[in-house]
Structure 1
Amino acid sequence: MSNCKYEAVHSASQRFGFRLVNELDEWNLLWSDSCVPLSKLMDMKKFQKVNHFPGMLEICRKDLLARNLNRALKLFPKEYNFFPKTFYLPADFSEFRTYTRHRKRSIFILKPENNCQGSKGIRLARNTKVETNGEHVLCQHYISRPYLVDNLKFDLRIYVLVTCCDPLRIYVYNEGLARFATVPYQQPNKNNIDNVFMHLTNYSINKRSKDFNTDEDSGNKRRLSTIYNILEGEGKDVKKLISEIDDIIIKTIISICSVLKRNHISLFLRHTISSACFEILGFDILLDKDLKPFLLEVNHSPSFAMDTPLDREIKEGLIFDTLRMIDFNRIDKKKCLEEKRKYVTCRLTPAQKTFQLLLVL
């Protein structure tokens, strides 16, 4: 865990029975907040696992997600219509102008192409005032009629676990988070278009609002199940909504499944029995006024910060249950190391066998 800053990961792994060891020891699990160098992945032994799939950035970088889903949309227009219309500027500027020619009043949200710092750099703009200022940005059609709870805009953080890419195995955690804006919602106009507390649901910015409420049932961060209960109370078909969200998750990951398989085969030649990787993803879902879910982005290192008791309950539980889902004992560690030592010894010449073997790289 040399590159892991979250207490939730440390506490959950210790509760599971792991102990922290040196990087040079025969570890079982490498947990990192960021992508792991390919050189380290290629040296992994059969019993070792890492918490990222090489190639998952294809859906976890905003620009790559847009590229992959736009490609899938052209092939399957009825199946991949869950992603707001998105352009990569300035490369798609002519296509953007064609799209907005008859949409004079449309609002767009501009996002840095590879930003993982919450709301930093995100802004709203009318189509006639979209400017990149020489930067590469994602320009996404803003859903201006979202579904509201307590007259506030919100999004859903759905936690997804991928345990294998061949065959593809995807699990959805039974709990998640709903993140709320802190100012009652109005459709964007010239007076409120810059009000980030109204239009953005990011916790990282709304926690600085004077109106931020920490109550778990009525505040600005609530359980996913709390929202489902509210929707059921309003007579909405929650089972249908959950099915549609599951559909989005599956289709999004399927769009890059071939990349995941190819990378896993090429990097993990020793892992013929079990997957070398697993990954917790954070899918951010927004509901429009008709309760249609839209995918906003996918996070390959969702925040496990425990700022509130609700965070601790959900995130530490998520990590602990993830470790329970991964079969760390499928490969016998002692047997694997013994086989390696025998293999190395068999390759030694008679002269080499007179020395004590200390290190083989």
Structure 2
Amino acid sequence: MSKYKISGNKASSDNGKTEERGGRSCVRYKCGLLSTIQDVLQQRTNWVEVKDDGEWDFNWCDVGWLRENFDHTYMEEHVRINHFRNHYELTRKNLMVKNLKRYQKNLEKEVGRAEASKCDFFPCTFALPSEYHLFVEEFNRSPGSIWIMKPVAKSQGKGIFLFRKLKDVIEWKKERAEEQKDSAHVENYVSQRYIENPYLINGRKFDLRVYVLVTSYVPLKAWLYRDGFARFSSTRFSLSSIDDKYMHLTNVSVQKTAPDYDPEKGCKWQMQQLRRYLTAKHGREVIETLFKEMDNIFIRSLQSVQKVIINDKHCFELYGYDILLDQNLKPWLIEVNASPSHTPSSQEDYGMKYRLLEDTLNVVDMEGRLTGEEKRVGGYDLMWNNGPVYREDSGLQTCGSLCFTANTYLGCVNDREKQLRHLFKPFPFQKKL
């Protein structure tokens, strides 16, 4: 359970009650994680935790529980669970790249090279050991380049290292073979071209954590959260030392072990702070273009797995996207997380994650308070609903007509409490469960 708290915060409709669902006056939930999500669930009005094998309406589980239990669990119409069955098609590093490459190839064949080029947002990547020879060919084309090796199914910076020389990989392969000779499971890795020119602030590298909520793949329905954060390294960036993990890896789990890490200051900027900084330095138009390019990454990556994800009306997924900016302000997709950490690193971080999770539950709408036509719920903006969702910017004129842009507000003001009060205000024909 988190040491951070938000006091007196109840997520409920203004009429203060939950209508009965099938004769029950509460939502029965199960939660397998001890983090901020547990706090959020406990604060929901008329939500009751069930233990062990008790019947539940809502389950926030880890992927291990999903793998072992999903196929053996009967779910009634109203039941919801926080992962799609094969979520790993997007969140496992090798499969993400495989699906993106296939999607890009199909676009080029069906629509043309110009459209396929819009998928040029992930670094050159090879799956190992299966694509080792292809990797070596590419490696030899650009001697001296830096590559990064990552295990496909690990997080928090575990097992990652950078290298310039092929002999480092050959030695690594021998070590891995020795370690795994008695194991039936061979751990897969990806080798990825390292972004050698990252955008720096105060000489330090950072990446972005952005939250995307998918409530359906068929049709695709995706929401983008306004808040997020930038994660900074604690050491000034240099290519002269590729062995310094505190310089090159921005994972909080890595940075908080740095000798000079200050837990009071942390290593994060809120997304709004970063957007203000970049806008002040580069101008509004440039940064709006940057954020539109990130919108493209979110949608294209989801479309790349749309046909392979097993869509299930009981499922939703809260993805944590990791985006890196290079010095030309080009965004790169580094990876997508199926279980983005909800463990807070500060009181501010706890507040942001608490609001994110609270609004996730508001969108999933176990209480049945929404109409299904909403374009905004709390801090979430609907960016795709079987097609692009647009917002109308009446202040902009193009050839005498209104200018329409995507309904995304990443890094903009998040006046969620005001919006939720308006959204959930009681009215005579309030939708019942």
- Which interval holds the TM-score relative to the shorter structure? 0.7 to 0.9
CA contact under 8 A between 2:31 and 2:59: conserved in structure 1?
Answer: no
Q: Do the aligned partners of residues 10 and 3 (structure 1) sit closer, same or farther apart at CA in structure 2, a change above 3 Å counting?
A: closer
- Tell me the CA shift for residue 110 of structure 1: 0.2
Spell out structure 1 runs of 4+ moving beyond 4 A.
38-42
- Tell me the CA shift for residue 41 of structure 1: 6.2
- Tell me the CA shift for residue 128 of structure 1: 2.5
Question: Among 234, 237, 255, which residue is 2:281 paired with?
Answer: 234
**1:246 matched to which residue of 2?**
295
Question: Among 51, 55, 70, which residue is 1:22 paired with?
Answer: 51
Are positions 1:73 and 2:104 aligned together?
yes
- Tell me the CA shift for residue 87 of structure 1: 0.5
Question: Among 71, 93, 110, which residue is 2:149 paired with?
Answer: 110
- Tell me the CA shift for residue 19 of structure 1: 1.6
- Tell me the CA shift for residue 220 of structure 1: 1.5
- In 2, Cα distance between the equivalents of 1:230 and 1:215? 22
**1:209 matched to which residue of 2?**
258
Question: What are the Cα deviations for residues 84-117 of structure 1, in whole angstroms up to 9, with x where unaligned?
Answer: 000012221221122122200111000112113x
Deviates more, 1:83-92 or 1:280-289: 83-92
- Tell me the CA shift for residue 42 of structure 1: 4.6
**2:350 matched to which residue of 1?**
312
- Tell me the CA shift for residue 137 of structure 1: 1.6
3-state SS in 1 of match to 2:308: helix
Amino acid at match of 2:212: V
3-state SS in 1 of match to 2:247: helix
**2:190 matched to which residue of 1?**
138
**1:199 matched to which residue of 2?**
248
Count, aligned residues: 314
- In 1, Cα distance between the equivalents of 2:122 and 2:165? 19
**1:13 matched to which residue of 2?**
41
**1:168 matched to which residue of 2?**
220
- In 2, Cα distance between the equivalents of 1:321 and 1:41? 29
Are positions 1:33 and 2:72 aligned together?
no
CA contact under 8 A between 2:290 and 2:329: conserved in structure 1?
Answer: yes
CA contact under 8 A between 1:63 and 1:113: conserved in structure 2?
Answer: yes
Deviates more, 1:27-36 or 1:226-235: 27-36
Match runs of 1:28-67 below 5 Å: 28-35=57-64, 36=66, 37=68, 39=70, 42-67=73-98
Question: Among 74, 78, 83, which residue is 2:122 paired with?
Answer: 83
Percent identity, please: 34
- In 2, Cα distance between the equivalents of 1:128 and 1:257? 36
Q: Do the aligned partners of residues 69 and 282 (structure 1) sit closer, same or farther apart at CA in structure 2, a change above 3 Å counting?
A: same
Q: Larger RCO: Structure 1 or Structure 2 (Cα < 8 Å, ≥ 6 residues apart)? A: 1
- In 1, Cα distance between the equivalents of 2:31 and 2:360? 19
Amino acid at match of 2:100: L
- In 2, Cα distance between the equivalents of 1:39 and 1:163? 18
**1:348 matched to which residue of 2?**
none
Question: Among 136, 139, 146, which residue is 1:97 paired with?
Answer: 136
CA contact under 8 A between 1:100 and 1:127: conserved in structure 2?
Answer: no
Q: Do the aligned partners of residues 202 and 316 (structure 1) sit closer, same or farther apart at CA in structure 2, a change above 3 Å counting?
A: same
- In 2, Cα distance between the equivalents of 1:29 and 1:212? 38
3-state SS in 1 of match to 2:355: helix
- In 2, Cα distance between the equivalents of 1:278 and 1:212? 36
Gaps of 5+ in 2: 1-28, 108-115, 178-186, 370-433
Question: What are the Cα deviations for residues 161-181 of structure 1, in whole angstroms up to 9, with x where unaligned?
Answer: 111122211111100011111
Question: What are the Cα deviations for residues 32-60 of structure 1, in whole angstroms up to 9, with x where unaligned?
Answer: 12251454565011111101111211011
CA contact under 8 A between 2:263 and 2:345: conserved in structure 1?
Answer: no
Q: Do the aligned partners of residues 12 and 39 (structure 1) sit closer, same or farther apart at CA in structure 2, a change above 3 Å counting?
A: closer
Question: What are the Cα deviations for residues 239-282 of structure 1, in whole angstroms up to 9, with x where unaligned?
Answer: 1111111110111111111122xx23xxx5xxxxxx31111110
- Provide the TM-score with structure 2 as the length reference: 0.69
- Tell me the CA shift for residue 127 of structure 1: 4.4
- Tell me the CA shift for residue 136 of structure 1: 3.0
Amino acid at match of 2:358: F
**2:334 matched to which residue of 1?**
296
Are positions 1:151 and 2:203 aligned together?
yes
- In 1, Cα distance between the equivalents of 2:81 and 2:366? 11
Question: Among 310, 317, 342, which residue is 1:279 paired with?
Answer: 317
Deviates more, 1:322-331 or 1:200-209: 322-331
- In 2, Cα distance between the equivalents of 1:281 and 1:147? 24
- Provide the TM-score with structure 1 as the length reference: 0.82
Deviates more, 1:27-36 or 1:48-57: 27-36
3-state SS in 2 of match to 1:173: strand
- Tell me the CA shift for residue 23 of structure 1: 4.9
- In 1, Cα distance between the equivalents of 2:264 and 2:328? 27
CA contact under 8 A between 1:3 and 1:31: conserved in structure 2?
Answer: yes
Q: Do the aligned partners of residues 195 and 310 (structure 1) sit closer, same or farther apart at CA in structure 2, a change above 3 Å counting?
A: same
Amino acid at match of 1:5: L
3-state SS in 2 of match to 1:255: helix
RMSD: 2.0
Are positions 1:180 and 2:229 aligned together?
no
Q: Do the aligned partners of residues 247 and 215 (structure 1) sit closer, same or farther apart at CA in structure 2, a change above 3 Å counting?
A: farther
Amino acid at match of 1:230: Y
Gaps of 5+ in 1: 269-274, 332-361
Question: What are the Cα deviations for residues 151-198 of structure 1, in whole angstroms up to 9, with x where unaligned?
Answer: 1000000011111122211111100011111100012x3xx1101111
- Tell me the CA shift for residue 120 of structure 1: 1.2
